Structures are given as structure tokens and as C-alpha cells.
Structure 1
């Protein structure tokens, strides 16, 4: 446990040094704030900059607070996921290329501690960014449009965080499996969006898919209730995360032993 904590502190120190602890939350805050602000001021924006014919009257219905927050999470699902993958793509592969991983493993450090400390560091920055960004979005949505019940906000962000944990775990897995950072990012993004696309197309047969966490988030925001298939998706997602983590540890161990 002491070794794991030392490695975890090393990860957090690295994030402070390369400013990830600062710029990733800022990006999530901006993504979260832009949606309620743009939704509220959209009629004025179109009127002043839309080059509309003179005399045009715009009657745009104001979206509900829940709809605005759903759009925020949708933005996190695209740009947020892209930012997280790009920031995490070299978490293992870059250290293996530079020889840092080999230097760490010379000491009596369990392979599991190395991988799990990386995973914990990624989860820390991911969840901090998500919670801060979503809180900022909720504040501006309440200020400009309407207040959404805190219970729904809390449930939705917890459910959505499970999806981001899944994405981060996949990134760690491919960073352990592959050497090139660009390849890690490409394959991770491809797999994530492939899962999301297949789930949306054949959702009837993919109720267990981790990608359905985004759908359950929307249902909680709109109705405050969970679909009956939530627990199936939740248990499956947690099981996949555990299996991917164990596989990442084994792959890292084999690669280090061969080298």
C-alpha cells in the first residue's frame, strides 16, 4: 500500500508539473458554461450576427434546464472524451519509451501497483474535471434558465462518471498494449465511438453496453427515474473495467519481463 501511495503521489506531482491538473478542469468548465450561456443568448446572437432579413422575428423556445445539461454531457461525450484520451494516451507508453518505467520497475514494485497508481491518477483528474465543470454548468443553468433539482444533478453526474471511468480505463489499456502515443489515441477513440455507435443503432440488443450510461444519465435528468436495464449496464461496465485493468497489469508484466 505504501508503494502504491508513493507511485500515486508521483502521478499527481507529474500532473501538477505539466499543468494537467489546471488546464483539463478549465476545459471542462468552459464546455460546461458555454452551453447554458449560448442557449440563453442565442436569439440575440442570431439577431445581431445571423445576417437575417430585416423585420425577421425570432421565436425560439427556451430549452429546459434538464435539456441544457443533457447537451453539456453530450459535449463532454465528444470533446471531453477527446481531451481525456489525448491527455492520457502516453500514461504508460511514453514512460516505456523513455525508460522511466524500467527504472521504476528495477525497484521491488508490484506491477499491479504501477498500473493501478496510473489508473487512480487518471481517475482523479477525470472526476475532478467532470464534477467542477458540471457544477459550473448547473450554476449558470440555474442562473439563466431554470434550476434543476440537486438530486437529479448528483445522480446524473455519478452515472455519467462511470462512462468516463470506462473510457479512461480503455485508454490505459491501449497505452499499456501499444508504444506509439498517436496509435493509442486513435485506437481508443475509434473503439469508444464504435461502441457508442453500435449501441445507438442496435440499442434493443445492447442494454448491457457501457455506452448506455449516457442514456441513463439523460433519463435521470428528464424524469428523475432509472430504467430497469440500468443495473445490467452498471454491473457489466464495472466487470469490464475490472477485466481490462487485470489484463493491463498482465500485459505490462509480460512486456517488462521480456525487456
Structure 2
């Protein structure tokens, strides 16, 4: 068995035994559960608020499964990415501070294998949580609206997963360069908001990951 495989198994065991196995999946599942519900009740809430304003009439179309998918994608791009940034800010630096990295790297283990194993383990967690959340959203949408084509949802989620994987790579780099976990998280959040601002600029929207936010 290669050194990388040994390190990857170690990282996956650590994920199963720590809070990391719960936090990000729980957030993505919360988004998946609430998205169909919000899509269903939002038009009614808007009409209710408008009815309290004399002379204000708001006509909204009835919600559809696509509204649920849009809600899911929107929350993933906001809450989901911010949660990913914060939870992975210490992916390398926490090991350096605790001294665990030193114990591992004093053995015949390359730095590249050490970093890539951590990245691969986090990517496996992210992918598994995303697939589970997507299925939950699809089932919830089907239960509420009576129909739910999974193709559009799968395509939107796959695009988000690519962007999230990019942010995971970014956080791995930042966690290597910045010792303080809060500092790495701050830098990652700053990068997120810069991309969000660039999303409003046509060329950036077409040719950079900002277009997926």
C-alpha cells in the first residue's frame, strides 16, 4: 500500500471520529430540507405582506419545482460555500500547531502526500455530503410539488461542487501559508466576496468561476 493511501485512510478515520463528519453535512442537509419549503411558502408570504399595504397588489406565479432548485443552488452558493471556507480553514495549520504534522513528516512521508491526502479526504466528505443533500432536496421537492425532474438539479449541483472543490483547494493553500485559522478563514471569505462582486461584471461572469456564484 502506498504512503498516500495510508495517509488517506488515516484522514478518513479522523473525519469519522471528529466534529468534521457532522458540521458540513448537517449544514448542507439543512439547506436541502428547507429549500423546497421556502420555495413553496415564499409567494404566499409576499402576498400576505402586500395585503397589509393599502393599494399594493403583487401578482406572483405559483411556485414550481424549479423554484425549489433555484433556492437550493442559491443557498449552496452562499451558506454552503461560507461554511466550507470556515470549516476547512485549519485543514493544515491545525496539524502544524498541534505538532501532529511534525510527527508524521519525520517519517518517510513527503509533504506532497501529506497535503494531498488531507485534500482528498475533505473532497470525499464534500462530495458525499453534496450527493446526499441533492437527493434529499429532490425527494422534498417531489413530495411538495408532486413532480421533480432531477436533471436540472443534478447539473446545478455538479457545477456548485466544482466551485466548492476550487475553494477547498484555495483553503488548503491558505491554511498552509497562514498559521492562524481565523486568518485563513478571513482570507477565504475575502476571496469569496471578491468573486461575488466580480459576478456582476460580464467578462468575469463568462470566463471565471464568479459566474457560478
Show the counterpart of 1:154: 154
Cα distance in 1 between the residues matched to 2:202 and 2:20: 35
Q: Tell which deviates more after alignment, 101-110 or 139-148.
A: 139-148
Deviates more, 1:77-86 or 1:180-189: 77-86
Matched with 1:225 is: none
Structure 2 residues without counterparts, runs of 5 or longer: none
- The structural deviation recorded for 1:207 is 2.1
Q: Which residue of 2 aligns with 1:256?
A: none
Deviation of 1:45 after TM superposition, in Å, equals 5.8
Distance in 2 between the 1:37 and 1:154 partners?
Answer: 19
Match of 1:25 in 2: 25
Give the match for residue 101 of structure 2. 101
CA-based RMSD? 2.6
Give distance in 1, aligned partners of 2:43 and 2:152: 28
Task: Give distance in 2, aligned partners of 1:180 and 1:32.
Answer: 32
Confirm or deny: 8 A CA contact 2:33 2:140 kept in the other structure.
yes
- Inter-CA distance 161–207: structure 2 relative to 1 (3 Å threshold): same
Matches within 5 A, 1:76-225: 76-145=76-145, 147-198=147-198, 200-214=199-213
The whole-number CA distance in structure 1 between the counterparts of 2:47 and 2:148 is 28
Mapped to 2, the partners of 1:191 and 1:104 lie a distance apart of: 31
> 2:43·2:63 contact (CA, 8 Å) conserved in 1?
no
Deviations along 1:214-255, whole A, 9 cap, x unmatched? 4xxxxxxxxxxxxxxxxxxxxxxxxxxxxxxxxxxxxxxxxx
TM-score normalised by L of structure 1: 0.73
Rounded to whole Å, the distance in 2 between the matches of 1:74 and 1:207 is: 18
Counterpart for residue 34 of structure 2: 34
Q: Distance in 1 between matches of 2:50 and 2:127?
A: 41
Residue 112 to residue 136, structure 1, CA distance change in 2 (3 Å): same
1:52 Cα deviation from its structure 2 partner: 6.2
| Runs (5+) with no aligned partner, structure 1 | 215-259
Change (3 A) 1:40 1:20: same
Please report how far the alpha carbon of residue 32 of structure 1 lies from its aligned counterpart in structure 2 after TM superposition: 1.4
What is the alpha-carbon distance in structure 2 between the residues aligned to residue 53 and residue 148 of structure 1?
34
